[in-house]
Structure formats: C-alpha cells, structure tokens
Structure 1
Amino acid sequence: MTFIRKRKRPAGSGLWPTYELETDEHGTWFFTPQHTPHRGDDGTFCEVAETRPGGPGQHALHLVPPDGWWFATWLDSGRLVADVSTPPTLIDNEWVYVDLELDPFRRPSGTVGVRDWDDLAEAHRAGLIDDVEREVAVRAALNLLQQFTDAMEPFGAVGWDRLRAAIARGLPPLTEFGDRPLS
C-alpha cells in the first residue's frame, strides 16, 4: 500500500491509500478502489473521488509523471482531471505534492478546460505561490489542456485501458491509515 498526500498552502492536506500498479514511460500508476476513504488534515473522512457530499466515491486511476508539475486522475465516470502541482515526491511510501490550484479536465462529452484561474491569481497575490511557480503552473495547465484535447498518450486510450484493467482486478477498498500524521 502506498499513500498520496495532496497539500494546500498555507495549510491543509488530504491523504488517501492506494495500490501501486507499475511504473512505465508515462510514470508511476496507482489505483484507488471505490469506497476507499480520503482523510482531511482535520481528521474528517469522505470517499476518494466523491462527486457530491455524502458520496459515493468512484474508482480512480492516478498517474505520477516522471518529471512533471502535475498529478493526473482518471475516474470511472469518464472524467479526466489533473492537479497542477509541484513535482510529486516520494517520501517513504507516501507521494506528496503541493496543489498549485489549476485543474485541467476532460469531461466524458469531450469538453476540455482548466478550472480555478481565480484561485491561482488569489494564491499568487497572497504570496502562497511565487512568480516562478505561477509561470510553471500556467505552462503545465496549458500543455495538459492541449494533450487532453488531442488525446495524447497517456491521456488517450492508455489511461482508460489501465483503469478498466484495475477495476477488473476486483481489489478491495483500502481503509487503513496506520499512524500517518494528519498533515
């Protein structure tokens, strides 16, 4: 079992357990089965990939790129989304990244876009994201937007095929957090 920790600035984080599947030329792939809990830094729980409060969550496939400022997630509802972030870093058995606010997405309808430009601007004004991070975040978001639009791999068939194969394995939800700190 591996953990993913998404950090926010100036404070806040979310943590969830996941199965590490494999590493290839696209990066390291993880699978989080439906009904796996996500723990906030205040100790509250919800399900991973919960689409509305009270849930249920969805099966989720995640990709940590070998050298990118993002963390991507494929959901069994057909939605693809990425957190533009600092490069994810492995610390012990926990992948950690800092969310830089922008969220490129592709909906099942094929619509693509980037959410949270206003959140990036606000975090930059507040000094939570510096000039260099802001520039890199914008470039990463626009690059991902183009890759999502063009269905460039791994955002074409590769991710969706991996998600279907992971679901077919029938892995149980992961519910243990052990002694992981809240933040």
Structure 2
Amino acid sequence: MTPPTTFVRKRKRPAGCGLWPTYQLGTDDYGTWLFTPRHSLHRGNDGSFCEVAQTSPGGPGEDALHLVPRDGWWFATWRPRGLLVADVSTPPVLIDNEWTYVDLELDPYRRRDGSIGTEDWDDLAEAHRNGLIDDTEHEAAVAASRTLEHHFTHAIEPFGPQGWTRLADAIALGLPPLTAFGDQPVDVL
C-alpha cells in the first residue's frame, strides 16, 4: 500500500521558499517521518523546478528521509551517501496538508567520514544583525545547533542507527518519485 503524501514548505527570510511533496511514513516518539524518493521535484517560489536533492547537500538522484521533530527547532534529513543534515528552523508546523518552517540559516551536519559541524554561522549573524531573525530565534538556533552536534557526535537516537535503518526501509519500498503539486500554491504569505 502506498503511503499518503504531504508537502514540506521551507521558507527563507526576507522572501523566498521551496516546496516539495513527500510520503508520510508515520509518527513515533521522535516526530513525523517523511520520505522523498530520488528524482522527486522541488518547486521554488519563482515557479522553477529541480530535483529535491539539488536544493541541499547531496545531489541529484538521491533519496531523502526527513524527520519533523515532535518538539524542536530543526528539520532533519538523511541521505543514502552517508550525510545527515538538519535545517535549524522555527518549529515545523502542520497546516492542512503541509509542514511549514522558517529556515534560521544554521545547518548542523554529520558527513560520511564522521566529521561533524555546523555551516552558515555567518549567515545567521547577518540575518540577526539585519533583523530577519530576532533575539529569541537567534538563541534557539544556536542552542538547537549545539544540541544537534552533540546528538550527532554521540549517535543519540534518532541520529544513531534508527534514522539510517528507516532510510533503508523507505528506499526498499520502491516508491515512485513525487512530481505533482496539484493546486498547492507556490508561495503563501
């Protein structure tokens, strides 16, 4: 049986967003698990399309497992080539059939070689300086990044074997790419 689908909308300040469809795999104590098969499409707020994997670390032709946390300032993604990365963000919110979050710039990662860190500290500082990220969001972003780096370093679940097992199980389902957006608006103010 094919899982139901939903959408993810990643917003950027002051303007811009990306939208992509995903399969809903289920919810557990960690949050809601979503899966985007390779060759699925991402739509930018300008109406352009590309493969989902082209919009984040990884590359075209990659599957992606996502976790929307039950309670957290992030949105995590596992890639088959061994990359685990999170968008530090406002807590994702489900509105109708769409998970929405605002990207707060920081991107904690764990690469295949075991290196762990966070990218885009300069982007966070600039967005904070320009008033695009307020003091509360800035503090939450820094705390979320540090917590995620700690969890990645110590393989604290779901960032240990659990996420990788879920990714392998999702790929084994053989689900087709998601390329339809129906009447989902490109951008919502």
Question: Would you call these one fold, judging by a TM-score over 0.5?
Answer: yes
Using the TM superposition, give the Cα deviation of residue 51 of structure 1 relative to its aligned residue in structure 2, in angstroms.
Answer: 7.2
Structure 1: runs of 5+ lacking an equivalent? none
**Aligned-partner Cα distance in 1 for 2:12–2:34:** 21
- 2:107 aligned partner: 103
Of the three residues 17, 23, 33, the one matched with 1:19 is: 23
Question: Which residue in 2 is equivalent to 1:179?
Answer: 183
RMSD value over aligned CA atoms? 1.1
User: Is 2:51 the partner of 1:47?
Assistant: yes
Task: Note if 1:131 corresponds to 2:149.
Answer: no
Runs of 4+ displaced beyond 2 Å? none
Match of 1:133, SS? helix
Q: Percent identity?
A: 70
The separation in 1 between residues aligned to 2:161 and 2:19, in whole angstroms, is 28
Deviates more, 1:41-50 or 1:10-19: 41-50
Letter in 2 for 1:127: G
Gapped regions of structure 2 (runs ≥ 5): none
* Structure 2 Cα separation of the partners of residues 19 and 56 of structure 1: 18
- Measure how far apart 1:77 and its partner are: 1.1
Equivalent residue for 1:157?
A: 161
Q: Alignment partner of 1:101: what SS?
A: coil
Aligned to 1:74: 78
Report how far residue 121 of structure 1 moved. 0.3
Q: Distance in 2 between matches of 1:67 and 1:40?
A: 27
Are 2:118 and 1:114 equivalent residues in the alignment?
A: yes
C-alpha spacing 1:95/1:51, structure 2 compared with 1 (3 Å): closer
Name the structure 2 match of 1:4.
8
Answer yes or no: is 1:31 the counterpart of 2:35.
yes
Aligned length: 181
**Code of the aligned partner of 2:176:** P
Alignment correspondent of 2:60: 56
- Secondary structure of the residue aligned to 1:50 is helix
Distance in 2 separating the partners of 1:5 and 1:57: 20
TM-score, normalised to structure 1, is 0.97
Q: CA deviation at 1:100?
A: 0.3
Deviations 1:117-153, CA, capped at 9 Å, x for gaps: 0000000011000011000100000000000011110
Q: TM-score under structure 2 normalisation? A: 0.94
